[in-house]
Chains A and B, each alone.
Chain A
């Protein structure tokens, strides 16, 4: 049997992951055609490359179907309850940086902190008869963050894409989303609250605490970690 390494199956995240392993003498490559999701590993024996959507990698690690996986801290913490008991971060890979932040319309000159957001939410509910809507796809993380910050009288509405547009389209009053440069936010007349972000995320190599290792696999894992300088 082999040690299974899960890597995002497309885009910049895949390319940069291949580069990171390549710089440490482990060659990762897609095999076959562009459309076929299988890969090959050179430079170390007994490692199998599994190409997956970045969003599925946390679940596969927690289920023990892969031993190692590269994905964002945001996805691991959002999708896995008690994530630190299921996976262990081995290395931050230094790319895929993004902060999960809460943003409100720039015209809300009176709202800059969570304290402001809570007060504005209370007044909003009294005036409009429903709770202030915050659009996001990171429900668990954002709810925990706002709970921690003592914000009430809000509701989360699900937005799986183009979240920055929800305020202008009147389907939400504020948003919580991943941002790297903040340009999209500015273009949509939104500003980030002057608080610590919900989460600072980057691409990270995780090890499953669940996946069993046979004797041979354990040796491969040791060798691989050695090669990666971990």
Chain B
């Protein structure tokens, strides 16, 4: 496949989005690194190229468009807004050296407060339409349901905050859940600490920036946590049943409604999913055959906190997603410093579409 073919495909996709009312935007390739480091922490270094500018400090080669587009919108955009863009992004591929570290993305982002379900459906339907000739397999999910379930647990605020912080790290989430449910043994070091009447007296010389008050505060927090009753077993089972839901949208909705009977905290989120399914159907999407996976988007898409979707190429299990996206209200809250704007969008990889055309 040639670069010219990819650029041509990218331009055509972008033109299509412009035709349907999106405003074209462009972003610099070299971005200040602090925002992305703040959002993703050290993990961004394994996924993106960071380098040092003698004047601007640490800079990053654009790893995606979403963050700069949100920043641009927050700084100068008017609502509601629809944006499209096309260009190269840069990703380190330590785990998959066979994958390119520079590739094109075409994106479509919708900032609209009025009708979230409608905006979700609009983005997904636009992508389905554009991607229809390629016979891709679509899957959707909804991180919002899991967030609602955690918020509704009968647990201390500290425990809920810890679970919430690790929703995008399923293994760590699971380990915390096991501990809070009393299913994992307390580490011996923790037991010894809790048994000691004055553990700080054994601390020895205090060194470093993390002071005695901070250490004492955490010891107190651990003591309080040890007094918390274990999470009720039925709630843990419901949470586990919830993340196992993997069905066509109609069946998934039915299963989630069953779970919501015993877990009323998710009822609102399930209603929102139902409204989205209706909005999708109204746009001609066959919801009865569309796959829903409650775990989708939990590992690779840290800023998505509601609707999520992906399109995979059939017979290409080794490929990354050909297109993906979702809702990222929380990201706009984090970048907006007090302001927020409900946002949903997605990206397509034109290079993979060209590959599919050439293989056909």
Contacts A150-B172, A150-B175, A167-B208 given: A106-B217 contact, CB under 8 Å? no
Q: Do B218 and A119 touch (CB < 8 A)? A: yes
Contact with A along B198-215 (1 / 0, CB 8 A): 011011111111101011
Give complex CA distance A120, B40 in Å.
18
B219 within 8 A of A: yes
Contact with B along A113-133 (1 / 0, CB 8 A): 101101110111001100110
Give complex CA distance A110, B193 in Å.
7
Contacts A150-B166, A194-B187 given: A167-B207 contact, CB under 8 Å? yes
Residue of A with least CB distance to B220: A110
Q: Shortest beta-carbon distance, A110 to chain B, in Å?
A: 4
> What number of A-B contacts does a CB cutoff of 8 Å give?
108
A184 within 8 A of B: no
A189 within 8 A of B: yes
Q: Which residues of A contact B37 (CB under 8 A)?
A: 155
Q: Do B42 and A155 touch (CB < 8 A)? A: yes
Q: Do A109 and B46 touch (CB < 8 A)? A: no
CB contact between A152 and one of B41, B45, B193, B215 (< 8 Å): that residue: B41
Residues 134-154 of A at the B interface (beta carbon under 8 Å): 139-140, 143-144, 146-147, 149-150, 152-154
Contact with A along B30-44 (1 / 0, CB 8 A): 000000010001110
Q: Do B169 and A194 touch (CB < 8 A)? A: no
Q: Do A108 and B175 touch (CB < 8 A)? A: no
B3 within 8 A of A: no
Contacts A119-B162, A131-B41, A150-B171 given: A113-B187 contact, CB under 8 Å? yes
Q: Do B189 and A112 touch (CB < 8 A)? A: yes
Give complex CA distance A106, B210 in Å.
12
Q: Do A173 and B205 touch (CB < 8 A)? A: no
Residue of A with least CB distance to B206: A107
Q: Which residues of B contact A24 (CB under 8 A)?
A: none
Q: Which residues of A contact B283 (CB under 8 A)?
A: none
B94 within 8 A of A: yes
B190 within 8 A of A: yes
Give complex CA distance A109, B193 in Å.
7
CB contact between A168 and one of B43, B172, B204, B208 (< 8 Å): that residue: B208
Q: Which residues of A contact B189 (CB under 8 A)?
A: 112-113, 194
Pairs A–B under 8 Å by Cβ, sample size 23: A105-B207, A106-B204, A107-B205, A107-B212, A109-B193, A112-B189, A113-B187, A113-B189, A115-B175, A118-B172, A120-B218, A122-B162, A123-B217, A128-B209, A140-B46, A140-B94, A143-B43, A149-B172, A152-B43, A154-B41, A155-B42, A156-B45, A170-B208
